[in-house]
Amino acid sequence: MEHHKLIIIGSGPAGYTAALYAARANLNPLLFEGFFSGPAGGQLMTTTDVENYPGFPDGILGPEMMDAFRKQCARFGTELLRQDVESVDLSKRPFTVNTKKNSYLADALIITTGATAKRLEIDGAGEEGFWQKGVTACAICDGAMPIFREKDLYVIGGGDSAVEEAIFLTKYGRKVFMVHRRDDLRASKIMGERALNHPKIEILWNSVIKKIEGDKVVGSVLIENVKSGAQEKREAAGVFFAIGHKPNTGFLDGQLAQDKQGYLVVKPGTSYTSVEGVFAGGDVQDPVYRQAVTAAGSGCMAAIDAERWLGEKGHI
Ligand code: NAP
């Protein structure tokens, strides 16, 4: 079985940054980028312009940015494999990492498998409909697109993310409607009040979107009141899912401590997980910030923690 000092599981800003630092520390990391689990590069691969990553004054396309991250960590000797990790065994050392075809041994692991924004199976919201043509799951990534300017926008959800995204979208849209399935917000009181008091936000209570229609991009939504059953077709340019994220931890089979939402728990201010020698960075351990730049930063932390830990334990 191939034995590595460090294996990184998951691509995206956190994984590639961890690999960059680890490779420059001569750890010769092996990075599993994923394949069926999602595009190598993670959530940014389904984003268009990234305008909030420092260093790119004119913005950069998400896939272009991930390509650059990838090349940069490869340049210093990261071995990249476009394969999914199916399971790991953290019960004995070295750890075992299993793909469909092979098993690998690792003295240390960094988990950077990210999170997946939850989506609803609404008629017209899928890839064959208007996904990324007005329907998205990240207002902060996509909200500034010209198609949303001065138009009516719809955010689905009643939590803090929905409020935050709705407020963000008021910078661009004519009006932002929050479509919430109940008559009470899940969002914290302070956030809820911001939405309720915002002149450009209106909450459609007890409501769901049944259908999204349009020509090349989103043009309308069909809203249903779940109490009365009444339906109304309304003009719309954008539909934003803000119904939470699901961290990608299935392959770990509960071997690392998770919080009640399923995010990996790390020791505050570090990347140490509940198993010594296993580190985590990026969205898989971040229910709060979830930005490319914070993911990259925490990937860097994971690599530095892993390098120090490997040194202390005499592996390097
Ligand atoms: P969340 O708190 O789980 O809220 C998800 C919202 O989506 C809920 O209102 C939920 O409705 C709705 N929803 C879920 N499934 C749905 C479905 N199938 N159909 C329709 N609606 C559905 O998730 P979140 O807002 O992403 O927040 C996650 C965590 O991050 C929270 O702890 C939050 O406080 C935190 N956060 C904090 C901030 C901040 O403080 N600035 C910003 C963002 C997130 P119900 O209410 O009916 O369940």
> Which among 79, 76, 53, 57 has a CA at the least distance from the CA of 66?
53
Asked if 98 and 157 sit in the same domain, the reply is: no
Domain housing 77: 2-116+245-312
Question: Per the structure, how many domains does the chain have?
Answer: 2
Phi-psi region of 267 (alpha: psi -120 to 50; beta: other; left: phi over 0): beta
Q: Whose CA is closest to 109, among 276, 222, 285, 244?
A: 276
Helix, strand, or coil (residue 54): coil
CATH number at residue 284: 3.50.50.60
Of 195, 221, 241, the residue at which a domain comes to its end is 241
Residues 45 and 80 occupy one common structural domain: yes
138 as an active site residue: the answer is: yes
Q: Which atom of ligand 1 is nearest to the CA of 186?
A: 46
Final residue of a structural domain among 241, 269, 284: 241
Question: Cα angle vertex 57, ends 56, 59, to 5°?
Answer: 60
Q: Do residue 112 and residue 249 come from a single domain?
A: yes
Name, in order, each residue with C-beta under 8 angstroms of 231's C-beta and a sequence gap of 6 or more.
Answer: 210, 222, 223, 224, 225
How many A from CA of 185 to the centre of ligand 1? 9
Q: What is the pLDDT of residue 44?
A: 84
Compute, in angstroms, the gap from residue 261 CA to the centroid of ligand 1.
11
SS3 224: strand
Calpha distance 277→266 (Å, rounded): 12
For 109-139, write each residue's pLDDT tens digit.
Answer: 999 999 988 999 999 999 999 999 999 998 9
Q: Please report the pLDDT score of residue 187 as a whole number.
A: 95
Cα separation of 167 and 147, whole Å?
A: 18
Whether residue 151 sits in one domain with residue 69: no
Q: For residue 152, report the distance from its CA to the centre of ligand 1, in Å.
A: 22
Q: Could you say which of 209, 241, 273 is where a domain stops?
A: 241
The minimum-distance atom of ligand 1 relative to the CA of 164 is 42
Mean pLDDT, the chain cut into blocks of 10 residues (316 residues total):
97 97 98 88 78 93 94 97 97 97 97 94 96 92 92 97 94 98 96 97 98 97 98 98 94 97 97 98 95 97 98 95
Map tokens 């109490």 to a residue: 227
pTM: 0.79
**Contact (CB, 8 A) for 169 and 143:** yes
The tens digit of pLDDT for each residue in 64-116 reads 999 999 999 999 999 999 999 999 999 999 999 999 999 999 999 999 999 98
47 and 66 co-located in one domain: yes
Distance in angstroms (rounded) separating the CA atoms of residues 162 and 239: 12
The residue contributing the CA closest to ligand 1 atom 2 is 159
| Rounded-to-10 torsion of CA 52, 139, 41, 311 | 60
Query: What residues are in contact with ligand 1 under a 6 Å CB criterion?
Result: 120, 156-162, 164, 181-182, 186, 188, 243-244, 287-288
User: Both 131 and 232 in a single domain?
Assistant: yes
Report how far residue 262's alpha carbon sits from residue 270's, in angstroms, rounded to the nearest whole number. 18
Same domain membership, residue 233 and residue 127 = yes
Ligand 1 pocket mutation pick from 116, 186, 191 by most atoms within 8 angstroms of CB: 186
For residue 55, the CA-to-ligand 1 centroid distance in Å is 31
Same domain? 11 vs 59: yes
Tell me if residue 141 is catalytic: yes
**Catalytic residue, candidates 107, 142, 152, 286:** 142
Distances (CA, A) of 81 to 46, 70, 108, 284, 306: 20, 11, 17, 20, 20
**Which residue has its alpha carbon closest to ligand 1 atom 26?**
244
**Predicted local confidence at residue 157, as pLDDT:** 98
Are 210 and 221 within one domain? yes
Residue in 118, 156, 181, 239 to alter for ligand 1 test, most ligand atoms within 8 A of Cβ? 181
How far is it, in rounded angstroms, from Cα 275 to Cα 23?
23
pLDDT of residue 47: 66
Query: Within this chain, do residues 71 and 146 fall inside the same structural domain, yes or no?
Result: no
- Cα–ligand 1 centroid distance for 33 (angstroms): 28
Question: Residue 156, class by beta-carbon neighbours within 10 Å (0-12 exposed, 13-18 middle, 19+ buried)?
Answer: buried
144 shares a domain with 108: no
Q: In this structure, are 129 and 221 located in the same domain?
A: yes
Neighbours of 272 (CB within 10 A): 20
